[in-house]
A and B are shown apart, each in its own frame.
Chain A
Amino acid sequence: MHMVVLTKGVPDFREGQVSFDEDGHLERGKTPTVMNPNDRFALEAALQTRVRHGGRVSVMSMGPPGYKEVLREAMETVYADDLHLVSDREMAAADTWATAITLSAGIETLGEPDVVFAGFKTADGETGHTGPQTNWCLDMSLVTHVISLDIDEEAGTLRAKRLVEGDIEEIETVETELPAFVVADPEFEPSYRTAGERLTLKDLREETRARAENYEEHLTVRDHADINVDPDYIGLDGSPTIVSSVDPIPKAPAEREATMVDPDDAGAMQDVLTAMQSAVGDGDGGDAAAAGGD
């Protein structure tokens, strides 16, 4: 079984990393690049498959040379065998369609994988298009929003549960034949059912620890010529969309006069408490109907 997992580096937007300048613009200063958090679920899905069926896991990313670190992080998560970075100035500023064309060409240089895994949405604004579009080029069976996964290697089939949303939420069970392209949902849960599987997982972890220390030995970097794509179809040149402007979201005007409260001032805190208690009212029934506005 050969699996390929796609991942991406994104700025770390967790609290503490985020601040604003005087004009309300987001300051991205010193924000480290981390692996896209939603890619973790794709990696988990690949790892589960690897534990159950064995085989080889390749991880691929498109981005600047600095993304090597992201690939190392991915290797540690998925216990990958080999890492692949598609990197070239010609690829800079690609939108999802240009990225998909690049990644599909990259994947094709690795042969014909049985399953390709991708995450859903990245934290830096890319939007869940890259996985499906990459597969549109590869033309494998596409299954998206996957929350659980079972592969029958002998029969060459894949069964998955996927999440459907809209006015109602549904869970669908779908079946298809390999090769398949799986987009994992953030709700994906890997499962290791037998002691044997859990043991394999542990062994893999040990094995990867050593490999990740010398991860660059397992890393191949390719440019556009290596993956044989036309520069016109990648990067900025191949991107239908451009960002025309970025505006801070307008600040809300003041409407209430807040009473400032020092949490160490017991009297003031008692006032807040009283206000909270009386807001809810003491058994007077009140009209919660005011809340039905939506």
Chain B
Amino acid sequence: MTDFDPGDYEISELGPAIKDIDDLGELEEILQAEHRGQNRAPAVALIESRIEKFSEDDEEPADADELDLASMSTAEIGNILQNVEEVSELESLLEREEAGENRDPVTRLISNRIDSVKGSDEEDTEVEVDDRPPEERHPDLDHPTRDKRHVRSLHGGTYRDMWVYCETQAGELVDVSKEMLGKARELMDAYNDDYGVSEQGSEASETESRADDERVVAVLIGSDVSKHVEDVIACGADVVVVREDARLERFQHKPYTEIFCDMARAGATHQNFEVEGGRDESWRDYDKPRYVLFPATNNGRDLSALVQAELDSGLASDCSGLYITEEVISNPVKTGVAGEKKEFQRVLHMKRPDFSGFEYSTILCIDNPTREFHPQGASVIPGSFDLPEPDTEREGLVVEHDAPLDDDWFRVTVTDFDRLDEGIDLTGHEVIVAVGRGIGDDPTKGIELALDLADQFEDADVGVTRGIVTGSFNFDGHVEQYTHEDRQIGETGQVVAPKLYVAAGISGAVQHKVGMDESDTIVAVNTDPDARIGDFSDYFIEGDLFEVLPRLTSALKEGRFEAAVASDGGRAASTPPAGTPDAGAGAAADERGESR
């Protein structure tokens, strides 16, 4: 009998919590407990996927030569590799992967496995880290990399605190800045509970913060940002580092990066693994932050990349989940010893929906033995975390940054800026017609058909799935505007609840579901009768949207269906005349502007 109660965990915590449970029976019990308790759908799905994973693990090891790599996911390949012991087999797998899909995570996995197998064969031979300088190891090169000003590597450094870049726009804190502060507060409170007490050796009281607690440090950069100091403290910051200068009114890549990094290193220079110089700042005593968070906005994402480059570290972008825990790593590049596993503590796990929209990747930023990759960095998708309830009683330290700004940083000048109209708001409409990857055969036509259908209603608009926004579809100019992020429905887009929701060519991923499942009536159109969208639809029309949507459109025009069907032979007959601007009514048409 397990004493693990899934009810004790939020959904976001449950994944990491059950990740070390590998007993099928125990997992089944946990599943039952969830069913008896809150019976939360995502929790059930999570536990089930864990069970599924272990059921798979029991399968016979596969013969490497017969593996069809192309048809397997990275995770599956990873599992199977654990049973392959022959270097030659692994090398042939690597070649096949490189010749075929050439997925980076897969080539890494196979390379790691090769190193790990080789390592255990070689045993007593060279398993130590080769810490000779690159000049000695690679005499054939004249080694520019090491001298390059951009590799500011550090070894033996100290790292503390979680830094959060708080972006402002038009004088206001962007919401995602507060969302990140709330999340950072939560993460560091848990962090201090997990790691703080044992370090200090004595239990501290619950409410008093301990002297060695690691903090949430907010960074504000701009021309008029100190007015946000109280806000960011109320949202969870312990320290706010502020830089104000008239030249910083608009975001500029170079000065913002230089300032952030100067704050992060307290003015020190890191070169060739050593620290040089730096200011004595009484509030801190470390070389670089342990973690950094940035908003995944256009400017925030750019800044995250540049800061992490300058600080010689790594990051995961567009994350929707974050947690801190230990991780056992066998990659010899990270452990320094082939064939041995090493546990890394306090690792920020950065979970992001994959490019495909079908998988989550968890990214880790891990030190190499002689080159430490800190801070561990992430950019966060706006809306991923809740806005925190501001606590106006909270107190925090304000630190003003006043290191000199170099004129050369201001090579790019902003000469003008215009605010665009408010983004598309899909939430107030009576009807939403949404399309997904099912429009792939003729993407432009697919959008046109959705617009035609939406035109039949007084108050309707068109939305798309993440797959459309991130996919590589080629849309003609006149419909392209309907395919952008501002019309995305789902977890990382808008959440709508219209009276009628038409889901055409949408398979029904859970992230899409959360964006629309409160709709009153849901009609799905899909060629695949097993598509998950059926599980949360009222009607499921099993057919090709290129045929079904025009039928619905003309039936709505006629007011009834029979007549429309009688005159319809299918796709050809239902194609509206090309080049005819839609004379539709309502909001949908208004927003279309000068299309075609």
List chain A positions with a Cβ less than 8 A from chain B. 10-16, 18, 20-21, 23-31, 33-34, 36-37, 63-64, 66, 92-97, 100-101, 104-105, 122-125, 127-129, 132-133, 136-137, 139, 141-145, 159, 163-177, 224-225, 228-233, 236-237, 239-256, 258-264, 266, 269-273, 275-277, 279-281, 286, 288, 290-294
Contacts and interface: CB of A to CB of B under 8 A. Distances in A.
Interface string B171-194: 010111000000000000000000
A13 B356 contact: yes
A166 B169 contact: yes
14 contacts: A27-B72, A28-B101, A136-B305, A144-B302, A168-B169, A230-B141, A240-B373, A242-B366, A243-B363, A246-B361, A250-B42, A254-B534, A256-B537, A269-B551
Contact of B523 (A33, A128, A159, A272): A272
User: Nearest 10 A-B pairs (CB), nearest first?
Assistant: A15-B440, A240-B314, A250-B45, A254-B535, A240-B373, A263-B543, A25-B73, A127-B317, A129-B305, A37-B472
Given A141-B411, A251-B532, A93 B538 contact: no
Given A173-B416, A251-B510, A166 B295 contact: yes
A176 B411 contact: yes
Given A175-B413, A247-B49, A252-B509, A18 B305 contact: no
Given A164-B417, A236-B111, 8 more contacts: A26-B73, A26-B356, A28-B71, A29-B70, A242-B366, A250-B42, A260-B542, A266-B562
B510 A242 contact: no
Interface string B332-366: 01100000000000000100011111111111111
A247 B360 contact: yes
Contacts of A277: 556
A243 B538 CA distance: 39
Chain B interface category by residue count: 35 or more
A171 B428 CA distance: 26
Nearest to A17: B440
Interface stretch (B1-9, B146-154, B213-221, B266-274): B146-154
B98 A92 contact: yes
Contacts of B105: 93, 243, 246
Interface in B537-551: 537-543, 547-548, 551
A132 B412 CA distance: 14
A269 B497 contact: no
A170 B419 contact: yes
Contact of B75 (A27, A228, A237, A245): A245
Interface in B108-128: 108, 111-112
Nearest to A21: B71
B364 A241 contact: yes
A141 B76 contact: no
A269 B427 CA distance: 27
A162 to B, nearest CB: 8
B438 A123 contact: no
B241 to A, nearest CB: 21
Contacts of B366: 240-242
Interface stretch (B81-89, B225-233, B277-285, B429-437): B429-437
A286 to B, nearest CB: 6
Contacts of A92: 98, 104, 107-108, 111
Nearest to B458: A280
B440 A16 contact: yes
B306 A123 contact: no
Given A228-B144, A244-B327, A258-B537, A293 B518 contact: yes
B52 A20 contact: no
Interface stretch (B24-32, B195-203, B249-257, B394-402): B249-257
Interface string B468-497: 001111100000000000000000001111
A133 to B, nearest CB: 4
Contact of A28 (B70, B556, B566): B70
A13 B532 CA distance: 20
Contacts of B302: 128, 132, 144-145
Given A260-B529, A272-B539, A132 B305 contact: yes
A139 B529 CA distance: 54
A243 B74 contact: yes
A164 to B, nearest CB: 6
Of A20, A169, A230, A237, most buried by chain B (CB within 10 Å of CB) is A230
A264 B543 CA distance: 9
Interface string B21-58: 00000000000000000000110111011001000100
A286 B499 contact: yes
Contacts of B316: 241
Contact of B70 (A31, A142, A228): A31
A169 B523 CA distance: 33
B429 A288 contact: yes
B540 A173 contact: no
Contacts of A177: 411
A273 B419 CA distance: 42
Contacts of B441: 15-16
B51 to A, nearest CB: 12
B199 to A, nearest CB: 25
A279 B499 contact: yes
Contact of B141 (A124, A129, A225): A225
A168 B420 contact: yes
Contact of B542 (A136, A173, A262): A262
Contacts of B140: 225
Given A92-B98, A225-B140, A269-B555, A243 B297 contact: no
Contacts of B536: 252, 254-256
Contact of B500 (A163, A233, A239, A280): A280
Contacts of B510: 249-252
B309 interface: yes
B165 interface: no
A123 B471 contact: yes
Contacts of B76: 25
B159 to A, nearest CB: 13
B112 to A, nearest CB: 8
A129 B496 CA distance: 32
B421 to A, nearest CB: 8
Contact of A144 (B298, B498, B517): B298
A252 B355 contact: no
A262 B543 CA distance: 7
Nearest to A247: B360
B596 interface: no
Contacts of B356: 13, 18, 26
B418 interface: yes
B511 A249 contact: yes
Nearest to A248: B359
Given A92-B107, A133-B305, A266-B562, A280 B412 contact: no
Contact of B354 (A167, A230, A246): A246
B357 to A, nearest CB: 8
A141 B145 contact: no
Contacts of B46: 250
A170 B458 CA distance: 31
Contact of B68 (A29, A93, A97, A237): A29
A175 B252 CA distance: 12
Contact of B538 (A241, A258, A291): A258
Given A174-B413, A270-B561, A291 B498 contact: yes
A165 B107 contact: no
B11 to A, nearest CB: 10
